[in-house]
């Protein structure tokens, strides 16, 4: 029989979790009593543990829904707050502290919260019961509270006092029953006294005859009668020292038993003692739950049909849970990564690295061969990394006829290129490109709205890339090492690089032209000419003591003028060099000293080819292999259920889908359990 009650309590708790189904309630026992009536003592004597918040100003501010589970397998009492994910608590002082904290979290000016605290206590000693300790209903109502708050408190409590719940109305024997606030409240909710059990506490404080009078109450008759208890040992008792914990409850039981034994005649035929109270509660709860079960079956069935219909219409019966949604997300991400891997492979690596090295080559050329004006260098901070090792001249075509000079110059330039740290440079380049692409990828999906998931994906990518970064950079650097000593060029390579150099210089030429045109357009053609002439004259007169007229050009305009002069010079040099490259001299690799653009291009190509071999295998392929696995690990297993739920329910449609499905599943579960219990009842 006990087992059936437990199953019905389980059904009750399942139905409690069905959103918005306030009428799907199986009965519970609701405990009310004014302050000091002994309400906590009664509840604690049923549980056999002290766990409720104490103190005169400790008013309960939230209902406590207490589920007691008789569990013969557990060694001692275990408490759980399922909503807080706190399980297996054996320290009841800790339980008390959690309850105090939860109550105090309700702001004083709100007085009560309708949101119940769910507490489960499992023990071999407790009966299967479902009890609700109501917020300081009566005491708060009696206290000096604004009417609005009183109304609120009443609303929270009245809901619990409604049918089919059983009311446990607690009154102390040393207070006249006519003044019992608990009985008054119970009568309001249950005028015919059909669902109320009267509890008279502190029987030891009154004469046994007076106590008997209360228990046989004719004035306030209750169908389920009254039970008299002694739930606390009077402190003055010298035989029993003040005890704590389980000892205190054993002592309490002994005192109570002795008291009723001593007054056997007075209390004969009456319901007295906490032991009997427990039995009565089990019986009453089981009976009322059984009675409620059949109508509940029909109600649950109706609710289930409606929910199933909605689920079919809105979501075509498609199965979705938070975990499944997360799994789908991971799958989608994996697909996206696969697509990305097809778009970003060796050719893309090559062009990425090549264009970076092209830029370095252009910078080097500007620095060592085409340089003349400072602003260009300033505009390219990368150049400042290079060392200046010799005086610079501007034009190869005007070069001194000094072969060693040009040989040395090309050697130095080549060394500058091969020693820029291609290993780190290329590895960083690829790593950053991948991270940028991952960002783009995330931002093209719904994941962009979830910072936590976004962060997890980024961290997964960074961790995979980090694992490989150093070894890849070292490998690449090692493999390009031979180029630091010797570069052999084949005719075919020379001719390809020649074409490429011409393209590159043409592109540079175009860009310089565009930059020049922009200045011309913003400043105005004539004005620009004037400024440029002015600056050139100024430059030419350096050292002369001629006072020149300031033509009223602002410092900004002078700066633009300088830029324009620089660009004009660069255009001239580029045109000159393009002619050089196209000339027959530059057709032959033997003339490499006169065609540094082509030779450096060959070097850049060789560096690129070698580097990408390793970058592709060591970094990129490894990333495509490891990243999805790392994602699976971080998103699939490392996140808490709550984090996954928060993620899934961020999308309102997904939220509705999941909640509707959860509702359906809970109702199905409840219904199958109701069917089981009813089948057993039929057999009994
Ligand atoms: P609550 O405020 O209604 O929860 O009441 P408590 O359970 O905290 O009890 C109020 C006071 O009454 C405490 O000091 C208890 O020790 C005392 N008390 C409770 N039950 C009994 C009892 O059966 N006999 C005696 N003498 N005192 C009791």
Strands ordered across the beta sheet of 86-89 = 86-89, 78-81, 117-123, 64-70, 129-133, 29-33, 166-172, 196-201, 226-228
The response to whether residue 205 sits with its C-beta less than 6 Å from ligand 1 reads: yes
Q: Tell me the best of 55, 232, 252, 277 to mutate to test the pocket of ligand 1, counting ligand atoms within 8 Å of each CB and taking the most.
A: 232
Instruction: Give the Å distance between the CA of 163 and the centre of ligand 1.
Output: 29
Instruction: Give the Å distance between the CA of 209 and the centre of ligand 1.
Output: 21
CA angle 620, 622, 627 (to 5 degrees): 95
Residue nearest to atom 10 of ligand 1 (CA): 36
Q: Tell me the best of 37, 38, 211, 255 to mutate to test the pocket of ligand 1, counting ligand atoms within 8 Å of each CB and taking the most.
A: 38
Cβ neighbours for 298, distance < 8 A, ≥ 6 positions apart? none
Give the span between the Cα atoms of 605 and 590, in whole angstroms. Answer: 18
Quick: pLDDT tens for 188-211.
999 999 999 999 999 999 999 999
Task: Give the pLDDT of residue 547.
Answer: 53
The response to whether residue 70 sits with its C-beta less than 6 Å from ligand 1 reads: no
Instruction: Give the Å distance between the CA of 248 and the centre of ligand 1.
Output: 14
The answer to whether the beta carbons of residues 15 and 671 sit under 8 Å apart is no
The response to whether residue 234 sits with its C-beta less than 6 Å from ligand 1 reads: yes
pLDDT beneath 50: ranges in the chain: 1-2, 140, 238-240, 373-400
Instruction: Give the Å distance between the CA of 50 and the centre of ligand 1.
Output: 12
Give the span between the Cα atoms of 303 and 297, in whole angstroms. Answer: 10
Question: Which residue in 536, 530, 591, 585 sits closest to 557, CA to CA?
Answer: 530
The answer to whether the beta carbons of residues 42 and 170 sit under 8 Å apart is yes
Give the span between the Cα atoms of 636 and 630, in whole angstroms. Answer: 9
Three-state secondary structure string covering 301-323: HHHHHHHHHHHHHHHCCCCCCHH
Give the span between the Cα atoms of 623 and 625, in whole angstroms. Answer: 5
Residue nearest to atom 9 of ligand 1 (CA): 38
Instruction: Give the Å distance between the CA of 463 and the centre of ligand 1.
Output: 61
Give the span between the Cα atoms of 437 and 444, in whole angstroms. Answer: 11
Quick: pLDDT tens for 574-613.
998 899 899 988 999 998 888 999 999 999 999 999 999 9
Query: Which atom of ligand 1 lies at the shortest distance from residue 37's CA?
Result: 3
**Alpha helix locations (H) across 105-146?**
137-142
Give the span between the Cα atoms of 633 and 618, in whole angstroms. Answer: 22
Instruction: Give the Å distance between the CA of 215 and the centre of ligand 1.
Output: 18
Across the strands, what pairs with 86? 81
Task: Give the pLDDT of residue 238.
Answer: 46
Quick: pLDDT tens for 384-412.
333 333 334 344 444 445 677 788 889 99
The response to whether residue 40 sits with its C-beta less than 6 Å from ligand 1 reads: yes
State the Rg of the chain over Cα: 44
Q: Provide the 3-class DSSP secondary structure of residue 204.
A: helix
Does the pTM exceed 0.80? no
Query: Which atom of ligand 1 lies at the shortest distance from residue 33's CA?
Result: 3
The helix (H) or strand (E) run that includes residue 561 is helix 555-582
The response to whether residue 33 sits with its C-beta less than 6 Å from ligand 1 reads: yes
Cβ neighbours for 629, distance < 8 A, ≥ 6 positions apart? none
Give the span between the Cα atoms of 619 and 471, in whole angstroms. Answer: 9
The response to whether residue 409 sits with its C-beta less than 6 Å from ligand 1 reads: no
Residue nearest to atom 6 of ligand 1 (CA): 38
The response to whether residue 171 sits with its C-beta less than 6 Å from ligand 1 reads: no
Q: Tell me the best of 36, 180, 227 to mutate to test the pocket of ligand 1, counting ligand atoms within 8 Å of each CB and taking the most.
A: 36
Instruction: Give the Å distance between the CA of 185 and the centre of ligand 1.
Output: 20
HSE of 667 in the Cβ direction (CA atoms, 13 Å)? 25
The response to whether residue 44 sits with its C-beta less than 6 Å from ligand 1 reads: no
Give the span between the Cα atoms of 432 and 435, in whole angstroms. Answer: 5
Query: Which atom of ligand 1 lies at the shortest distance from residue 170's CA?
Result: 3
The response to whether residue 195 sits with its C-beta less than 6 Å from ligand 1 reads: no
> How far is C-alpha 414 from the geometric centre of its chain's CA atoms?
51
The response to whether residue 39 sits with its C-beta less than 6 Å from ligand 1 reads: yes
Instruction: Give the Å distance between the CA of 143 and the centre of ligand 1.
Output: 20
Virtual torsion, Cα 555, 558, 563, 564, nearest 10 deg? 150
Instruction: Give the Å distance between the CA of 34 and the centre of ligand 1.
Output: 11
Instruction: Give the Å distance between the CA of 37 and the centre of ligand 1.
Output: 6
Task: Give the pLDDT of residue 241.
Answer: 54
Task: Give the pLDDT of residue 142.
Answer: 52
Instruction: Give the Å distance between the CA of 117 and the centre of ligand 1.
Output: 23
Give the span between the Cα atoms of 570 and 568, in whole angstroms. Answer: 5
Instruction: Give the Å distance between the CA of 365 and the centre of ligand 1.
Output: 95
Pairing assessment for the beta strands 86-89 and 29-33 based on DSSP bridges: unpaired
Tokens of 183: 């009985």
Q: Tell me the best of 41, 231, 242 to mutate to test the pocket of ligand 1, counting ligand atoms within 8 Å of each CB and taking the most.
A: 41
The response to whether residue 35 sits with its C-beta less than 6 Å from ligand 1 reads: yes
Instruction: Give the Å distance between the CA of 172 and the centre of ligand 1.
Output: 8
Instruction: Give the Å distance between the CA of 519 and the centre of ligand 1.
Output: 92
The response to whether residue 38 sits with its C-beta less than 6 Å from ligand 1 reads: yes
Rounded to 5, what percent of the chain is helix, strand, coil?
65, 5, 25
Cβ neighbours for 516, distance < 8 A, ≥ 6 positions apart? 564, 567, 568, 571
Task: Give the pLDDT of residue 492.
Answer: 95
Task: Give the pLDDT of residue 478.
Answer: 94
Residue nearest to atom 25 of ligand 1 (CA): 202
From residue 682, give the alpha-carbon distance in Å to each of 290, 294, 444, 573, 679.
11, 12, 59, 103, 5
Question: Which residue in 309, 644, 625, 312 sits closest to 453, CA to CA?
Answer: 644
The response to whether residue 255 sits with its C-beta less than 6 Å from ligand 1 reads: no
């Amino acid at each position: 029989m006990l087992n059936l009650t437990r199953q019905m309590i389980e059904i009750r708790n399942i139905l409690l979790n069905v959103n918005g189904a306030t009428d799907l309630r199986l009965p519970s026992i609701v405990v009310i009593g004014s302050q000091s009536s002994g309400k906590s003592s009664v509840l604690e004597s049923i549980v056999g543990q002290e766990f409720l918040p104490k103190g005169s100003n400790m008013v309960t501010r939230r209902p406590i829904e207490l589920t007691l589970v008789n569990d013969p397998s557990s060694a001692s009492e275990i408490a759980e707050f399922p909503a807080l994910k706190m399980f297996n608590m054996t320290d009841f002082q800790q339980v008390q502290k959690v309850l105090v904290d939860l109550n105090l979290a309700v702001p004083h000016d709100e007085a009560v919260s309708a949101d119940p605290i769910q507490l489960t206590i499992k023990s071999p000693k407790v009966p299967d019961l479902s009890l609700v300790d109501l917020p300081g209903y009566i005491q708060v109502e009696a206290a000096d509270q604004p009417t609005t708050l009183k109304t609120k408190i009443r609303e929270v409590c009245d809901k619990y006092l409604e049918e089919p719940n059983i009311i446990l109305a607690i009154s102390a024997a040393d207070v006249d029953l006519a003044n019992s606030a608990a009985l008054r409240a119970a009568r309001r909710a249950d005028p015919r006294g059909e669902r109320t059990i009267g509890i008279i506490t502190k029987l030891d404080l009154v004469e046994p005859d007076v106590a008997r009078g209360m228990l046989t109450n004719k004035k306030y008759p209750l169908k389920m009668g009254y039970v008299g208890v002694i739930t606390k040992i009077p402190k003055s008792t010298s035989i029993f020292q003040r005890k704590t914990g389980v000892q205190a409850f054993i002592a309490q039981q002994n005192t109570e038993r002795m008291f009723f034994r001593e007054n056997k005649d007075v209390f004969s035929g009456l319901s007295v003692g906490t032991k009997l109270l427990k039995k009565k509660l089990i019986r009453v709860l089981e009976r009322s739950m059984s009675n409620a079960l059949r109508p509940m079956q029909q109600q649950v069935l109706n609710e289930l049909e409606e929910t199933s219909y909605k689920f079919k219409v809105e979501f075509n019966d498609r199965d979705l849970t938070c975990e499944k949604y997360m799994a789908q997300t991971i799958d989608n991400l994996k697909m996206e990564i696969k697509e990305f891997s097809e778009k970003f492979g060796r050719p893309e690596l090559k062009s990425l690295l090549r264009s970076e090295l092209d830029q370095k080559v252009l910078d080097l050329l500007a620095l060592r061969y085409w340089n003349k004006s400072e602003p260009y260098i300033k505009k390219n901070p990368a150049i400042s990394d290079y060392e200046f090792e010799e005086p610079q001249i501007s034009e190869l075509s005007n070069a001194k006829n000094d072969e060693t000079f040009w040989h040395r110059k090309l050697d130095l330039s080549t060394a500058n290129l091969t020693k820029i740290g291609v290993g780190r440079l290329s590895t960083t380049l690829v790593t950053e490109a991948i991270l940028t692409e991952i960002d783009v990828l995330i931002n093209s999906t719904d994941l962009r709205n979830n910072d936590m998931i976004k962060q997890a994906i980024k961290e997964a990518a960074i961790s995979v890339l980090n694992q490989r970064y150093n070894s890849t950079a070292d490998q690449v650097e090692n493999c390009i090492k031979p180029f630091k000593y010797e570069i052999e060029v084949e005719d075919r390579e020379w001719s390809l690089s020649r074409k490429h150099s011409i393209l590159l210089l043409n592109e540079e030429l175009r860009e310089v032209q565009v930059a020049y045109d922009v200045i011309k357009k913003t400043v105005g053609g004539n004005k620009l000419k004037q400024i440029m002439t002015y600056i050139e004259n100024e430059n030419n007169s350096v050292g002369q003591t001629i006072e020149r007229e300031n033509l009223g050009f602002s410092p900004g305009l002078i700066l633009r003028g300088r830029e324009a002069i620089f660009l004009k010079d660069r255009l001239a040099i580029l045109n000159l060099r393009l002619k050089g490259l196209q000339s027959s001299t530059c057709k032959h690799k033997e003339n490499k000293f006169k065609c540094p653009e082509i030779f450096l291009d060959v070097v850049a190509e060789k560096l690129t080819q070698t580097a990408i071999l390793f970058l592709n295998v060591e970094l990129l392929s490894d990333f495509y292999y490891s990243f999805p696995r790392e994602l699976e690990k971080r998103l699939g297993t490392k996140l808490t259920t709550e984090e996954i739920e928060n993620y899934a329910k961020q999308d309102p449609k997904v939220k509705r889908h999941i909640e509707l499905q959860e509702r359906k599943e809970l109702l199905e579960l409840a219904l199958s359990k109701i069917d089981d219990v009813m089948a057993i009842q039929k057999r009994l």
